[in-house]
Amino acid sequence: MKGRAVVRQYETGKRDFARAKLRNAELKGAHLQGIDLSWAYLRGADLSEANLVGANLRGSDMLSADLSDADLSGADLYGANLYKAEITNAQITQAESVKLAILPDGTKHE
């Protein structure tokens, strides 16, 4: 699935993209508030400047994803793989849950 397809479907009301395969997807600046991307494959995806407020990113694989300036307020990052992702500690603390997430430096959040 391509990033543009996700945005189009989201705009028509679809919110469930659990387990979507979105490797290297271009989602820069996308408004995806409340989207379900749980267990999604988002390696190398560009989510910079995206609105991911309240998003379900539980268990998603975001290895090397660009999350710079993305709004993760209230997002669920439980068990997500953020290894080598472009994300700040401030963004991580905005999330609702980061328990068991693999952080950008490879450590696991307790």
Residues of the chain with pLDDT under 70: none
The model carries a pTM of 0.94
Per the structure, how many domains does the chain have?
1
The 3-state secondary structure of the chain, one letter per residue:
CCHHHHHHHHHCCCCECCCCECCCCECCCCECCCCECCCCECCCCECCCCECCCCECCCCECCCCECCCCECCCCECCCCECCCCECCHHHHHHCCECCCCECCCCCECC
Per-residue pLDDT tens over the stretch 65-95: 999 999 999 999 999 999 999 999 999 999 9
Domain harbouring 56, CATH code: 2.160.20.80
Structural domain boundaries enclosing 86: 1-110
User: Tokens 């307020």 map to which residue?
Assistant: 73
Q: Which two tokens stand for residue 67?
A: 């999350």
